[in-house]
């Protein structure tokens, strides 16, 4: 039976890996929607090759170019934020959520409303609106399968286990581009330097978030929201090799570790074939050759994001949206050269101070309330950055 699949963020790093897996067995799938941003050429060529029903660019101004690129192929073209949501409303059995940033939330929610299985790479939506996503899935009989490597690892380690038996989870982190830099050099780090990851090839934004550990901070919230762990149960360990992705500790003292190469095709393929395990074209590890695996606690002071996130987890509710929104704005500021690498944490810290002041943590959660928390956080981040500029 062919499965209907849609891929949101098809032109990105996760999107390309997802397309790669679909290409291995094209007759098994009918591609409904593929979406992208400014990269019209690669969006159109993938849509034509896989005979998608529709291709959507997030950018309104690129509708004409997309139409031109798809002319005569039978693939529909659309553009803009509403078109992304409309595409998510088209029936599909499996939808990959791989847009980067908060923009992934509305189509992800819409896919869940259709009862689809949502493969969730877009961690920002779980961070900003975890309770809303989980509740929407529950109400519509939809499933969310995590695609973040650590969360896929936890998901797999929990197979057949009772949640009450879990004592703790350990999420590993490579330490990012600056793990061996002297602390005093960090304030001079450039976006190009931050965007080079020691182990994983990924999109630019998540790679810089790995250097600052904001990515790991988002993943702690993602684990709390997705699995329902408390903040105290979730630990972070630096693991330079990026081969053990996460470990789940049970009350009998056992630790179940997930070990595999740093290749997102594993987590994507697992989410695609779940609950089966199918052949995947990933490297088979030669542990004798690897010889040793190293673990260490994160050095205090190097990663302020890991401290800030604990306050966000304690606050709950809309604190996640505020955290993510200010982090995204601060990352834009760093990429634009407005603020330093080390200022990103200062911008987010300022926002966290504000969360307790205006009590956003306690608002009732809807898509609109989450959008508002995100918007306010971005405005406030601009103000903080202006102050840092001046």
* Interacting residue ranges for ligand NAD, rule: CB under 6 A: 9-15, 36-37, 58, 98-101, 103, 121-124, 148, 200, 202-203, 205-206, 264
Q: Which C-beta is closer to ligand NAD: that of 121 or that of 361?
A: 121
- Which CB, 53 or 148, lies closer to Mg ion? 148
Output the smallest distance, CB 87 to ligand NAD, in A: 11
Q: Considering the complex, state which of residue 150 and residue 351 has its C-beta at the smaller distance from Mg ion.
A: 150
Q: Return d(Cα 210, Cα 205) in angstroms, integer.
A: 9
The whole-angstrom separation of Cα 62 and Cα 69 is 11
Which positions ≥6 away from 198 have C-beta within 8 Å?
174, 175, 176, 177, 179, 240, 242
328 lies in the site for Mg ion, by CB under 5 A? no
Q: Is 169 exposed, middle or buried (0-12, 13-18, 19+ CB in 10 A)?
A: buried
**Could you give the CA distance from residue 67 to residue 60 in angstroms, rounded to a whole number?**
12
Collect all residues with Cβ–Cβ distance below 8 Å to 49 and sequence separation of at least 6: none
Cβ proximity of 272 and 94 under 8 Å: yes
Q: Which residues contact 185 (CB under 8 A, 6 or more apart)?
A: 178
Nearest to 111 by CA among 133, 91, 88: 88
Closest CA to 284 of 256, 260, 257, 258: 260
Per CB under 5 A, contacts with Mg ion among 92-151 are 148-150
Choose among ligand NAD, Mg ion, none what residue 11 binds, the Cβ cut-off being 5 to 8 Å by kind: ligand NAD
Task: Answer with the entry of Mg ion, ligand NAD, none that 115 interacts with (C-beta below 5 to 8 A by kind).
Answer: none
Q: Which residue number is nearest to ligand NAD in terms of Cβ?
A: 12
Task: Compare residues 123 and 350 and give the one whose CB is closer to ligand NAD.
Answer: 123
Closest distance between ligand NAD and the C-beta of residue 209, in Å?
7
User: Shortest approach of Mg ion to residue 218 CB, angstroms?
Assistant: 9
Q: Which of Mg ion, ligand NAD, none does residue 88 bind (CB under 5 to 8 Å by kind)?
A: none
Name the residue nearer to ligand NAD (CB basis): 97 or 136: 97
| Of residues 122 and 149, the one with the C-beta less far from Mg ion | 149
């Amino acid at each position: 039976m062919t499965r209907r699949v849609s891929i949101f963020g098809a032109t990105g790093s996760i999107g390309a890996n997802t397309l790669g897996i679909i290409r291995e067995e094209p007759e098994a799938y009918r591609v409904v929607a593929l979406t992208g941003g400014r990269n019209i050429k690669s969006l159109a060529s993938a849509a034509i090759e896989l005979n998608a029903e529709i291709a959507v660019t997030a950018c309104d101004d690129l509708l004409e170019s997309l139409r031109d690129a798809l002319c005569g192929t039978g693939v529909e073209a659309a553009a803009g934020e509403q078109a992304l949501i409309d595409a998510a409303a088209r029936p599909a059995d499996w939808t990959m959520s791989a847009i980067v940033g908060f923009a992934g939330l509305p189509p992800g929610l819409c896919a869940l409303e259709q009862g689809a299985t949502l493969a969730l790479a877009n961690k920002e939506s779980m961070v900003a609106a975890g309770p809303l996503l989980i509740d929407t899935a529950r109400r519509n009989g939809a499933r969310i399968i995590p695609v973040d490597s650590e969360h896929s690892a936890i998901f797999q380690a929990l197979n057949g286990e009772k949640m009450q038996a879990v004592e703790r989870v350990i999420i590993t982190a490579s330490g990012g581009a600056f793990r061996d830099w002297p602390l005093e050099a960090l304030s001079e780090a450039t976006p190009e330097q931050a965007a080079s990851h020691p182990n994983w090839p990924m999109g630019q934004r998540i790679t810089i978030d790995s250097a600052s550990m904001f990515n790991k901070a988002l993943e702690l919230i993602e684990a709390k929201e997705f699995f329902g762990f408390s903040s105290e149960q979730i630990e972070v360990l630096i693991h330079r090799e990026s081969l053990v992705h996460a470990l789940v500790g049970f009350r009998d003292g056992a630790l179940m570790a997930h070990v595999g190469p740093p290749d997102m095709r594993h987590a994507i393929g697992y989410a695609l074939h779940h609950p089966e395990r199918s052949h995947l074209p990933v490297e088979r590890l030669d542990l004798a050759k690897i010889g040793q695996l190293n673990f260490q606690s994160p050095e205090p002071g190097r990663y302020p994001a890991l401290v800030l996130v604990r306050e966000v987890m304690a606050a709950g509710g809309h604190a996640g949206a505020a955290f993510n929104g200010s982090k995204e704005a601060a990352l834009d500021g760093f990429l634009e050269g407005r603020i330093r690498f080390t200022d990103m944490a200062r911008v987010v810290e300022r926002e966290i101070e504000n969360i307790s002041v205006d009590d956003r943590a306690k608002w009732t959660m809807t898509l609109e309330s989450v959008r508002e928390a995100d918007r306010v956080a971005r405005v406030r981040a601009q103000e903080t950055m202006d102050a840092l500029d001046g």
